[in-house]
């Protein structure tokens, strides 16, 4: 697709037509989401209302949230502090305000991620990837907090070498959703960016302290209760599986829950070796193609090992997608674009959702629909790992060529 943008006038006309069609499709998707939300906001805003109610209980009532009652709070304490200003708004105003805010964040998120995932590409070269991202099904989910966390996390990545303290402050805020921003934190740990990590830890510690002070409790006690909530909620391998994680497969092969959890932890550690080695081998993400591949690998790793739904899938898959489209490596042009095309089709069509009615009629082949997202992430992770190793060797002997 990028070739079309770089060719002469004929190819340019074709690309312009494709771009306009994609923009219309993306705009229609966002408009449809807004209409559905307006028609039935309560049914589609359950998660938003839950966080809103937690914030009101903590800020206005001083209630201690981390108990094992119904709907236990699984957001970290500093997230409650950061989102607490929402509690000052009336609930009827929250849904349209948050939906509009997330709709505006969608192109900004894609621009930041594409910029961080490209090496030496002109800003205009990232626009096709942004447009394609706006066509993905999960982008239509406007009442979540993950997109904000992704924007702030990639803002931290872009500032990590020039303004490390500001980068760390942003990362600390992004860690309100640790399964979204955690990949960037792990990349910083691996590449020894300790100054922003210390600043991020300070933000988290401050948030814990403010939360504990408001409920007149000890920060250590709050941390212990939060950990107990997490281990209780996520201890069962049959629950909170998500659309991309491998935990479900580990549970299916293990004889009991203990073995399933042990297998899952082993898978987490084994897969973490891949992005960790990639980042340790080359931490220069701004000028090195191999270095720029490491953050996307960490994002795919998060999809494979943690609980994620469709809105998180599009966010954490996009860094790899953008890298495959934008990296300058002529020998792998067609394989890269083939993988990106499969990702585009799967994430745009949202197969497990839109084809779920077909699953009972497909027999064993129905598993391909059910596990479509999981298979796409596995394939992207494997290919990107191989590509990163190739680029690491190529970067060692020559400068990047023009794609």
Q: What pLDDT does 204 receive?
A: 96
pLDDT at 26 over 70: no
pLDDT at 14 over 70: no
* Closest C-alpha to 52, from 16, 25, 85: 85
pLDDT at 7 over 50: no
Q: What pLDDT does 249 receive?
A: 80
pLDDT at 6 over 50: no
How far apart are alpha carbons 108 and 90 in whole angstroms?
27
pLDDT band at 1, cuts 50/70/90? very low
pTM of the model: 0.88
75 contact partners, CB below 8 Å, separation of at least 6? 51, 54, 83, 176
pLDDT at 223 over 80: yes
Q: What pLDDT does 29 receive?
A: 60
pLDDT at 156 over 60: yes
Distances (CA, A) of 54 to 80, 87, 215: 7, 9, 13
Is 140 buried (19+), middle (13-18) or exposed (0-12) by CB count in 10 A?
buried
pLDDT band at 52, cuts 50/70/90? very high
Q: What percent of the chain lies above the pLDDT cut of 90?
A: 46
How far apart are alpha carbons 190 and 307 in whole angstroms?
23
Q: What pLDDT does 70 receive?
A: 55
Name the average pLDDT for the chain: 84
Residue with the larger pLDDT of the pair 75 and 368: 75
Least confident of 31-35, 226-230, 248-252, 393-397: 31-35
pLDDT band at 151, cuts 50/70/90? very high
pLDDT at 27 over 70: no
Q: What pLDDT does 36 receive?
A: 56
Tell me: the pLDDT tens digits for 301-327?
Answer: 999 998 888 889 999 999 999 999 999
Tell me: the pLDDT tens digits for 59-69?
Answer: 999 999 987 66
Q: What pLDDT does 159 receive?
A: 96
How far apart are alpha carbons 202 and 282 in whole angstroms?
27
Residue with token string 């690491």:
392
């Amino acid at each position: 697709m990028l070739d079309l943008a770089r060719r002469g006038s004929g190819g340019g006309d074709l690309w312009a037509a494709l771009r306009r069609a994609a923009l219309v499709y993306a705009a229609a998707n966002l408009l449809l989401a807004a209409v559905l939300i307006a028609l039935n906001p309560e049914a589609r805003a359950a998660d938003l209302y839950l966080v809103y109610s937690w914030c009101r209980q903590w800020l206005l009532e001083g209630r201690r949230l981390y108990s094992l009652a119904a709907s236990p709070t699984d957001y970290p304490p500093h997230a409650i502090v950061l989102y607490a200003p929402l509690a000052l708004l009336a609930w009827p105003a929250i849904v349209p305000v948050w939906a509009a805010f997330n709709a505006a964040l969608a192109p900004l998120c894609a621009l930041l991620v594409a910029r961080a995932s490209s090496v030496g590409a002109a800003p205009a070269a990232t626009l096709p990837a942004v447009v394609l991202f706006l066509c993905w099904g999960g982008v239509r989910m406007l009442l979540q907090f993950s997109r904000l966390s992704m924007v702030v996390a990639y803002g931290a990545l872009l500032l990590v070498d020039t303004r490390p303290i500001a980068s760390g402050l942003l990362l600390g805020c992004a860690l309100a959703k640790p399964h979204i921003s955690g990949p960037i934190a792990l990349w910083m740990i691996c590449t020894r960016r300790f100054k922003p990590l210390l600043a991020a830890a300070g933000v988290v510690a401050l948030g814990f302290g403010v939360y504990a002070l408001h409920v007149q409790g000890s920060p250590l006690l709050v941390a212990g209760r939060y950990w107990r909530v997490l281990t209780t909620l996520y201890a069962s391998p049959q629950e909170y599986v998500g659309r991309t994680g491998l935990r479900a497969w580990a549970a299916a092969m293990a004889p009991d829950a203990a073995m399933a959890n042990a297998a899952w932890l082993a898978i987490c550690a084994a897969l973490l070796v891949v992005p960790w080695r990639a980042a340790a081998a080359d931490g220069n993400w701004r000028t090195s193609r191999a270095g720029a591949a490491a953050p996307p690998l960490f994002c795919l790793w998060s999809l494979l090992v943690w609980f994620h739904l469709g809105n998180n899938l599009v966010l954490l898959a996009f860094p790899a997608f953008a890298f495959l489209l934008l990296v300058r490596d002529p020998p792998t042009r067609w394989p890269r674009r083939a993988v990106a095309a499969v990702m585009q089709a799967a994430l745009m069509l949202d197969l497990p959702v839109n084809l779920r009615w077909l699953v009972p009629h497909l027999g064993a082949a129905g598993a391909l629909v059910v596990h479509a997202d999981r298979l796409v992430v596995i394939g992207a992770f494997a290919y990107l790992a191989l590509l990163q190793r190739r680029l690491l060797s190529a970067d060692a002997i020559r400068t990047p060529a023009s794609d």
